[in-house]
Structure 1
C-alpha cells in the first residue's frame, strides 16, 4: 500500500485566521506569491502572482465559541501557536493550538500562552516575549515545537514573569489598550492608550530591554519612557497596534 503525503503549504506566506459567522467553520487561509506568476488572482485584491489558499481549520476541541487571544510564531519559522478564550469570557483562557505549515497539521496543547496579544521570539533570550494583562513582561522558552508533527503536543510549558510592572500607576488613569513591538536584540517598545480623569486620551511610549540576572530570572533593563502624546480631542478612545520596521 502506498501512502500519499499530504501536500504542505510554503511557510513563507501571510496566514489569516478568521472566526466563523453563525454556525460556520473558522476560516484559515494563507496568501503567497508564486515565483512563476501562475496563480490566479483578482487584480483589485492581490498583485501579480499573489493568491489565497484555504488551509485545514482546527478540529475539536476548538469550537465556535472560542476566539484567539494570543499568538506567536515558533523559532522554527513554520509553526504558529495561538491561545484561545471563550467569546463571552475573554479573560478566561481555554487552551492552545498549533499549526505546522510544513506538514499542514494542527495540534492541541493542554497549556495556554501566558501573554496577551502577540508574542515575539528573541534569539538572545531563546524565548518568546509578550505582555500579560497586568502589564508584566513574560517569556516562554521556545522549545515547544518539533521537526515532526507527532511531537508538537508532548512538551510542557515553562515560563517566568519580570517583577516590574510596565503599566505604571493605573489609579490615576484608565488603561484602554497596550501593544508591544519587537525592535530586536532583546529590546521592545510598549505603546499604551490610556484615558485620564479629564476624559483626554493619551498615548504612552516605553522603550525597554530584557535580560537574565545571575540567578536566571527575567529582568527589565534600559527602561526609559518617551514623550506622551495626546490624542485629538474628538477621540475619547484610541486602540493602536504597534509595528517596528
Structure 2
C-alpha cells in the first residue's frame, strides 16, 4: 500500500548562483520545538531547513513562481520556456521535474488562479490565458489558450480570489471611474468578465475562501486579517466584513508577509522581519532600493544586480500557524494560535535582499 502523502510548507529563496532553492518545512507539532541556534545567536531561531531542490531560473524574480495542478510548483519565467520544452514544473510529492506547455504570452506581473487540479488561469498586463492539463484523456496532455483581455488594467488590481464554484473575483481601484469587483465564470465558454458589484474585497492581494466562514480571508497592508462574506455577490448588497481585533504583524520589525491556507480554516502566516530590533522594517525596505542599484554605471551585466546583494543576516522569517473562526457574537474574527506553532528562522546568507523583502513565496502542498 502506498504511503499516505503529508502536505508540507515549501519556501522559495533567491539564493543560488544559478537560480532558486526550495526548502521543505514541516509544520507538525512534533517539529515545533526549536533549540537555541548558535548560528543566529538568538534564542529560538534556527536556520531554514536544507535545500529540498534547486531550480535554474533568472534571479531576482521570485514572484514568477506559482503552484498548480496538484503538488506542482511552476516557474512562469517566459525566457526559461523559450530554452526548454515548456514551463518547468517541480512535483514536490514525486520529486520530479517535468515541462508544461509553452506560455501563451510574455509574463511580467502574473496573477495566477489555480482551478481544481487541472486548470490554471493567468492574468497579466493586457493578457489573460488558460492552461489545461488532461493527461488521462489525450496523448497530448497540455492545452493552452489566450483568452480575451479583461476590461480593467491589471496594475489597478487590489485583491482577488476564487469561489468554490470556480468563479474568479477581481477587485480594482480605478475601473470606470471608481472601485469595482469583476467576476469571471471559468465553467462557461463565453470567456467574459462581468462587473459584479461596486465594492472591493477588503484585503490586499490574494484571498482564500473558507467554507466554515462563508467568505474570503486575506491580509491587509495595515496588518489585520479580514473576512468578507460572499452572499453579496448574488444580492448586490455590500458584503459583511469582519476583522481581527489585533494586528498579526510583528510590531516595528515587519517587512513583508504571505498568508498560506492549509485548509479547513487553518492558516500559516509567513512573515519577513528585520533581524535587528533597532532597525524598523520600513528602514530595511528603503535600504533595499539603494542595494538594488549597481555601484558602477559601466557594469556589463545589469542582471547581477536584480534583487540586490546578499541579505547577510538582516532578515528572518516568523512562521505562525493558527485557526480562524468568528467570535461568539459574530462581531469579529477570532484567531486561535496552534500550540507550539510560532517559529523563527534565519535565512540563507546568499538570498538577495531585494527578493527577501518582497512577499515570501510559500506554498502548502
TM-score range, shorter chain: 0.7 to 0.9
Give the match for residue 143 of structure 2: 51
Query: What TM-score do you get using the length of structure 1 for normalisation?
Result: 0.73
- Tell me whether 1:79 sits opposite 2:167 in the alignment: yes
Deviations 1:178-198 (A, max 9, x none): 101111221110001122346
- Residues 189-200 of structure 1 mapped to structure 2, 5 A cutoff: 189-197=268-276, 200=314
**Match of residue 217, structure 2, among 120, 126, 129:** 129
Task: Please say if residues 320 and 337 of structure 2, whose CA atoms lie closer than 8 Å, have aligned partners that are also in contact.
Answer: no
Deviations 1:13-36 (A, max 9, x none): 1101111xxxxxx11011112453
- What is the alpha-carbon distance in structure 2 between the residues aligned to residue 118 and residue 63 of structure 1? 17
Kindly tell me: are residues 176 and 222 of structure 1, through their superposed partners in 2, closer, same or farther at Cα, counting changes over 3 Å? closer
Query: What TM-score do you get using the length of structure 2 for normalisation?
Result: 0.50
- Tell me whether 1:142 sits opposite 2:230 in the alignment: yes
Question: For the aligned residues, what is the CA RMSD?
Answer: 2.5
- Residues 194-233 of structure 1 mapped to structure 2, 5 A cutoff: 194-197=273-276, 200-217=314-331, 218-222=333-337, 225-233=341-349
The structure showing larger relative contact order (alpha-carbon pairs under 8 Å, at least 6 residues apart) is: 2
Task: Please say if residues 191 and 203 of structure 1, whose CA atoms lie closer than 8 Å, have aligned partners that are also in contact.
Answer: yes
State the shift of 1:94 in Å.
Answer: 3.8
- Tell me whether 1:241 sits opposite 2:361 in the alignment: yes
Q: Which runs of 5+ in 2 are unaligned?
A: 1-114, 280-312
Task: Please say if residues 74 and 145 of structure 1, whose CA atoms lie closer than 8 Å, have aligned partners that are also in contact.
Answer: no
Q: Which runs of 5+ in 1 are unaligned?
A: 1-9, 20-25, 39-47, 87-92
Kindly tell me: are residues 54 and 145 of structure 1, through their superposed partners in 2, closer, same or farther at Cα, counting changes over 3 Å? farther
Give the structure with the larger helix fraction: 2
**Match of residue 15, structure 1, among 111, 116, 121:** 121
Give the structure with the larger strand fraction: 1
- Tell me whether 1:177 sits opposite 2:256 in the alignment: yes
Structure 1 residue ranges (4+ consecutive) displaced by more than 4 angstroms after TM superposition? none
- What is the alpha-carbon distance in structure 1 between the residues aligned to residue 230 and residue 264 of structure 2? 16
Aligned residue pair count: 202
